[in-house]
Amino acid sequence: MAFSLRLFSVVKYESVIHEFDPYFNFRVTIYLTKEGFYNLWNWFDDITWYPLGRVVGGTVYPGLIWTAGVMFKVLHALNVPINVQEVCVFTAPLFSAFCSLAAYLLVKEIRGRGAGLTAAAFMAMVPSYISRSVAGSFDNEGVAIFALVFVFFLYVKALNTGSLAWSSAAALAYLYMVASWGGYSFIINLLPIHCLASIFTGRLTAKLYIAYAPLIVLGTLEAASIPVVGFNAVLMSEHFGAFFAFGILHAALAIRYIKDILPVKAYNAAKTLVLTSGVVLMSGILLLVLFYVMSSPTFGWTGRSLSLLDPTYASKYIPIIASVSEHQPPAWPSYFTDLQAASILMPAGLIALFWPLTPASLFLILYACTAVYFSGVMVRLMLVLAPAACCLAGVALHEALAALFKGVHAEQREQESRPPKEDAKAKKPSSKPAKASFWSNLPGFSETGRPIPRDAALTRGGDGSIHIFDDFREGYAWLRYNTPEDAVVASWWDYGYQTTAMANRTVLVDNNTWNNTHIATVGRAMASPEKQAWEIYRALDVTHVLVIFGGFIGYPSDDINKFLWMVRIGGGVFPDIKEKDFLGEGGYRVDNKAGKALLDCLMYKLSYYRYAEASLMTTGQMGFDRVRNVQIGKMDVTLEYFEEVFTSEHWMVRIYKVLDRPARDIKLPNPRSTRGKPRKSSLS
Amino acid sequence: MITPVFILLISAALTCQASAQKVLVLLDDPLIRSTHSLYFSDLTSRGYDIFFKSASDRKLQLKDWDEWLYEKLIIFAPSATDFGGDIGEGTLLEFVDAGNDAVIVVDSNPSELMRSTVADIGIDLEPKGTLLTDHVDYVRSSSDGHSLIASEEFVASDAILGNFTDRSPILFKGTAASISPESTLGISILGAPETAFSHFPGKAVIENPLVANGHATLVAGVQARSGARVVVAGSVDMFSNAYFTLAGFETASGNKFSKAGNRAFCDEVTQWAFHQRGVLRVTNLHHSHAGKQEQPEWYRVTDDLQFGLDIHELAGGIWEPYRADDVQVEFVMLDPYVRADLQHNDQGHFHTAFKVPDVYGVYKFVINYCKPGYTPLDLAKRVSVRPFRHNEFERFLVAAYPYYMSVFSTMAAFFLFGFVFLYHK
């Protein structure tokens, strides 16, 4: 069911890849299937981040790509001649099915089979997860959530059984998680929290040691061998917590061991000795670590993690992280739309888990609490919360159903013990509605769950709605077939992955936002007057500029709406770009009260070039922008250094050519010339 | 990636060699044909087909559909307010933008048409009615007052001046021009003496003239990016038979000259404008790993590479090896990481070898060679520089021996410990 639920998008918009990041993953997967594992590892991609290039092998989380690559190879080995694209499209739904299984196993391990089943059912249809794992959403999260839940399951299994085999299996699953998604740092921080909580609540057992210690050691080693993580696994602050808990765990075990072998008096003496020396030693190490951490400007944290701990950090210092809509804090209603019934059942499940409080259920409680916090900081991490919410909701629903059915069964048993048969017949259906109402709920969830992927496709990938707007693919196809192969396309970074994957052209910046300065340069060019922008682009060898314009059909996430971020990001590096110059009366607006710098800047010109006449035909008003619902501030937009070469059917994709330097130098400033005007006689 | 300029240059160079090139001469005064006959006969003797037309000729035609009817254009029409036939101001600029050469001659009363045409080519003429005047070092003559000037301020470029080697002073009477300091295309072929200035004749000079102190340009040359060359001269008389054959003159400062250099100068400058000299051609641009031949798609950081190209110069209609020690190549990724002089072997082959910098990215070999009088070379060729592969690093590092030691000693110690712990009770 989890699998089929996610195929509606294929039915609706054919088997295509949606959104931005999946296109990059798709492209890398193609590279993997063509060039092989080692070439991918060493891949230096020279058509992105021109002219810096990107070492893809060392900067990508390869789990998803390996997965798709392996599936592709296996299918081909079985003589199933399938296209890479189909493999990529169906990877996420497949793994969401696995994820449901993993959720079943996890909750079964904690609360038994019934709770596991309900949790798996929730997992299969939680909208937040559906939106990220519909067919065509070929993104890291698609497999990473499965890996996340699976690691938790193996950890809990190891915790329950105390078996080294399960613990090693957890370490392997952790390797897969690290390879798949940067969110692995959630695991490496959650496990220590659980470990510490267990120690301090007196639940220290050999099982905990077996579950935790090998995972940390092996996991760190494994993480360090994934190129993109590398030495970060021991150098970045995200991982220190794990080592800290590792130390505490050993100390606690040592204390217990000593307590066992020494008489009480000697133990007390030894305890003070060990504690004082231990405290001194630990404080020395802590000082060293602190010193190391303080020496880096972000205290050793990566920007993204820091913005999690201090939600205001990104908006203050790293506009590029804050600019991504996924990184905004979610609105309250989104908890209900994203989690549906799970959000209501969650607290009940949380409470249910306290009776009885086993180490395993403690783990689930901690998981849920931390995930709630993180999801409150970033919309994107709602995805981490989703499995937790499902598990809790599963537990709650199971408890509720168990209580209900206990009543029903008890009643039935009472009735069966009594002779009258009609009564039993009359009563029996009464249990059915209860079941039926539960099952009939499912399509309800999926009905409401389904609009989410369509939404994503329409507003973010632009691949469809009731009228299918295929402008993006139209524009990229134009680039692919009408520009020289060494053309360099400048666009805002959102479209970088798609341009490289669909148009196969070199781009300046893409969604792998590793170089803020380079992005700021593009932002600066877009925010500069035409001539300066032209000079910047010429210096970067840009031949074409691509802008996304939604004013014609009312597509809201276009470049004009993203423009303030370009200004902020550009201004963060180049102080000559000031946000207040672009704000008109009462904020950001594009009508005749807009900021003067906005009306002069390249982005405005490229978006509204020739638009005034075109909108007269469709809206009956000169230059009426359907997204902003205003008449634009400047009708006669003329271009001197750029030439329009392509505008898609619904004007969503507009491509301009950066003109060569003119053949002649005309109108250069010449202080020595009066340029034909009669000379003013200043003295007479 | 070779810029289109280069291709245009080749095509321009090839057309030069065609036997008789058609030159259209536009005149506003039919007398010029006789008063300047020596200049035109010099051109004819160089093998040009000259067609004289009145600037206001109604049947004037420069272009037939997409085909230019003439390769070269000489305009002696300072007072033409309008061209006849299909020629407008835009047509002339289009002619230049298509890579065709022109010589434009004006005098002290250029029409607005000529002034704006010249301004669009990048040369700013002084206001209408002004004359270049020099009260200190004028040429003594009966009729010209102080406005006949002998200038020796030549551009230091043999490519332009060619066989005009004696550098006799040039007699000039007309309007001065100026070139924007920001211009990268225009050069002053003949400047004015320091004491000359531009002003309305007969009017009191009550403020500093803008064009003075040797900033004035008498004859300017422009090499458009389309490959076209345009020469703008401020004096019609300069090309006249009278100045060509002047037997001798004396300047106000007492210097006596036996002849003026006008004839040779005008001829040579026209030759330059018509792409007979100072044309460079680049072929065989290549780069490869040191000691190898085939051109790779990419280099690895710190690779050794060699870079070379052939440059030839057009001299007397044939391509000869170019000889210069100032050609440089840059290896650029945002900034030039390497800038190397190119050595040449007297056969026109320029080459150098250097080490790729230890920074990966997409680099360009850039040749940007602009020498006065020569066609500017602006070439770029893109190549990727990739980092080391995972197996190209050193396998065992000397610096890491302590770590290897620690690993093996720990393993040995653990084994020993296990052995002792298990069997030594």
A82-122, pLDDT tens digit by residue?
888 888 888 888 888 888 889 989 998 888 888 888 888 88
Q: Does A44 touch chain B (CB under 8 A)?
A: yes
Is it the case that residue A161 has pLDDT exceeding 80? yes
Tell me the three state secondary structure of residue B177.
strand
B119:A666 CB<8 A: yes
Q: Do the Cβ atoms of B189 and B196 come closer than 8 Å?
A: no
Q: How far is B97 from chain A (nearest CA, A)?
A: 6
Instruction: Write out chain A residues lying below 8 Å of B380, CB-based.
Output: 541
Query: B180 and A673: CB-CB below 8 Å?
Result: yes
Q: Is the pLDDT of residue A74 over 80?
A: yes
Q: Please list the residues that pair with B340 across neighbouring strands.
A: B329
User: Range with the lowest mean pLDDT among A4-18, A191-205, A595-609?
Assistant: A4-18
Helix (H, G, I), strand (E, B) or coil at A631: strand
A265 min Cα distance to partner chain B (Å): 28
* Token reading at A336: 């209900």
Q: Does B407 lie at the interface with A, CB-CB under 8 angstroms?
A: no
pLDDT at A644 over 50: yes
Cis ω before B357 (30° cut-off from 0): no
Beta strand extents in A536-629 (DSSP E only) = 544-548, 624-625
Q: Is A538 helix (H, G, I), strand (E, B) or coil?
A: helix
User: What pLDDT sits at residue A132?
Assistant: 76
* Confidence at residue B41, expressed as pLDDT on a 0 to 100 scale: 94
Alpha-carbon distance A46 to A55, whole Å? 9
Judged by CB atoms closer than 8 Å, whether chains meet at A673 and B334 is answered as no
pLDDT confidence of A415, banded at 50, 70, 90?
Answer: low
Is A668's Cβ below 8 Å from some Cβ in B?
yes
CB atoms within 10 A of CB A18: 26
How distant, in Å, are the alpha carbons of A175, A183, A217, A232, A427 from that of A220? Answer: 9, 15, 5, 10, 59
Tokens for B42, please give them: 């010099």
Cβ-proximal residues to A36 (8 Å cutoff; 6+ apart), any chain: none
Of A292, A293, A317, nearest to A304 by C-alpha is A317
User: B9, B362, B381, B385: which to substitute to probe chain A, counting the most A Cβ within 10 Å?
Assistant: B362
Of residues A62, A65, A83, A99, the one with CA closest to residue A16: A83
| Cα A249-A254-A259 angle, rounded to 5 deg | 130
Considering only CB atoms, which chain B residues are within 8 Å of A541?
364, 380
Question: Alpha-carbon distance A310 to A657, whole Å?
Answer: 43
- Look at A413 and A397; give whichever has higher pLDDT: A397
Mean of the per-residue pLDDT values of chain A: 80
The pLDDT score that the predictor gives to residue B328 is 94
- State whether A665 and B93 contact (CB < 8 Å): no
**Backbone dihedral region for residue A630 (phi beyond 0: left; psi -120 to 50: alpha; all else: beta):** beta
Q: What is the DSSP string of A10-27?
A: HHHH-S---SSHHHHHHH
pLDDT tens for A317-344 read 667 777 776 677 777 777 877 777 788 8
Q: Say if residues A214 and A171 touch (Cβ distance below 8 Å).
A: yes
Question: Does B185 sit within 8 Å of A671, measured CB to CB?
Answer: no
Read off the pLDDT of each residue in A391-411 and give the average, rounded to a whole number: 82
Comparing CA positions, the residue from B269, B274, B224 lying closest to residue B98 is B224
3-state SS track over A35-88? HCHHHHHCCEECCCCCCCCEEHHHHCCCHHHHHHHHHHHHHHHCCCCCCHHHHH
Q: Is the pLDDT of residue A442 over 90?
A: no
Inter-residue contact A668 to B183 (CB < 8 Å)? yes
What stretches of B155-295 adopt beta strand conformation (E)? 170-172, 177-179, 186-191, 197-199, 217-223, 229-233, 249-250, 256-257, 279-289
Residue B278 region by backbone torsions, left for phi larger than 0, else alpha for psi between -120 and 50, else beta: left
The count of other CB atoms within 10 Å of the CB of residue B36 is 24
Among B124, B179, B207, whose Cβ lies nearest the Cβ of A683?
B207
- For residue B1, which residues of chain A lie inside 8 Å, CB to CB? 486
pLDDT at residue A435, rounded to an integer: 34
Tell me, what's the pLDDT at B349? 94
Q: Which residues of A touch B127 (CB under 8 A)?
A: 674, 676-679
Please determine, for residue A666, whether its predicted confidence score (pLDDT) is greater than 50. yes
Instruction: Say if B124 is an interface residue toward chain A (CB within 8 Å).
Output: yes
Q: Which residues of A touch B223 (CB under 8 A)?
A: none
Are B355 and B304 in contact by the 8 Å Cβ rule? The answer is yes
Q: Please give the angle made by the CA atoms of A393, A395 and A400, to the nearest 5 degrees.
A: 90
Instruction: List the one residue out of B269, B267, B265 whose CA is nearest residue B278.
Output: B269
Q: From CA B84, how far away is CA B91, in angstroms rounded?
A: 12
Q: What phi and psi, each to the nearest 5 degrees, are found at residue B178?
A: -140, 155
pLDDT value of residue A261: 80
Phi (first) and psi of residue A506, to 5 degrees: -70, 135
- State the smallest CA–CA distance between residue A485 and chain B in angstroms: 11
b/e for A363-376, b at 16 or more Cβ within 10 A?
Answer: bbbbbbebbbebbb
State whether residue A677 sits within 8 Å of chain B by CB: yes
Cβ pair A663:B390 closer than 8 A: no
Q: Is any Cβ of chain B less than 8 angstroms from the Cβ of A231? A: no
Residue A139 per-residue DSSP state? -
Q: Provide, as residue numbers in chain B, all residues whose Cβ is less than 8 Å from the Cβ of A674.
A: 126-127, 210
> B206 or A61: which carries more pLDDT confidence?
A61
Taking CB atoms and an 8 Å cutoff, what residues of chain B touch A53? 360-362, 384-386
H helices within A528-585, ranges in order? 530-539, 559-573
d(CA B282, CA B311): 5
- How confident is the model at residue A12, as a pLDDT? 53
Residue A414: pLDDT band by 50, 70, 90 thresholds? low
A61 phi, psi to nearest 5 deg:
-80, 110
Q: What's the maximum distance between 2 C-alpha atoms anywhere in chain A?
A: 129
Cβ pairs bridging A and B (under 8 Å):
122
Please give the Cα distance from A530 to A541 (Å, whole number).
Answer: 16
Identity of the residue numbered B224: A
The identity of residue B133, as a single letter, is: T
User: In the prediction, which pLDDT does A528 show?
Assistant: 92
* Cβ neighbours, 10 Å, residue A574: 16
CA distance A51 to chain B (A): 5
Contacting A residues, span 92-121, partner chain B, CB-CB under 8 Å: none
How far is residue A76 from each of residues A72, A80, A83, B305, B393, measured CA to CA in Å?
Answer: 6, 5, 10, 42, 35
The better pLDDT of the pair A3, B277 is held by B277
Domains and CATH numbers, chain B: 4-273 (3.40.50.880), 279-386 (2.60.40.1930)
Provide the pLDDT for residue A375: 84
What does the alpha-carbon distance between residue B138 and residue B126 come to, in Å, rounded to a whole number?
19
Write a three-state SS string for A445-477. Answer: HHHHHCHHHHHHHHHHHCCCCCCCCCHHHHHHH
* H helix intervals, B219-346: 241-244, 262-273
Residue A468: pLDDT band with limits 50, 70, 90: low
At residue A527, does pLDDT exceed 70?
yes
Does residue A684 sit at the B interface (CB-CB below 8 Å)? yes
Give the pLDDT confidence of B365-409 residue by residue, as tens digits: 999 999 989 999 999 999 999 999 888 888 888 899 999 999 999
pLDDT greater than 50 at residue A445: no
pLDDT given at position A669: 79
For the stretch A114-156, pLDDT in tens is 888 888 888 887 888 877 777 778 888 888 999 999 999 999 9
Using one digit for the tens of pLDDT, what is the confidence trace for A600-631?
Answer: 899 999 999 988 888 887 777 888 888 888 88
Best residue in B124, B199, B337, B414 for a mutation probing chain A (most A CBs within 10 Å): B124
Q: What is the ipTM of this complex?
A: 0.82
Estimate to the nearest angstrom the gap between the alpha carbon of B246 and the chain centroid: 32
pLDDT band at A345 (very low <50, low <70, confident <90, very high): confident
E strand segments, B123-205: 123-125, 131-133, 149-151, 153-154, 170-172, 177-179, 186-191, 197-199
B126 and A CB contact within 8 Å = yes
Q: How far is B180 from chain A (nearest CA, A)?
A: 4
Round to whole Å and give the CA distance between A100 and A110.
15
Strand B361-369 relative to strand B279-289: parallel, antiparallel, unpaired? unpaired
B 89-118 residues with CB below 8 A of A? 93, 96-97, 112, 115-116
* Residues of chain B predicted below pLDDT 50: 1-18
The alpha-helical segments, DSSP class H, found in A295-377 are 303-309, 313-317, 319-322, 333-339, 341-353, 359-377
Which residue ranges form the domains of chain A, and what is each CATH number?
7-236+301-397 (no CATH), 469-658 (3.40.50.12610)
Contacts of A228 in chain B (CB under 8 A): none
Task: Indicate if the pLDDT at residue A452 is higher than 50.
Answer: no
- The tokens of B173 are what? 């009477």
Q: Could you give the 3-state DSSP secondary structure of residue A612?
A: helix
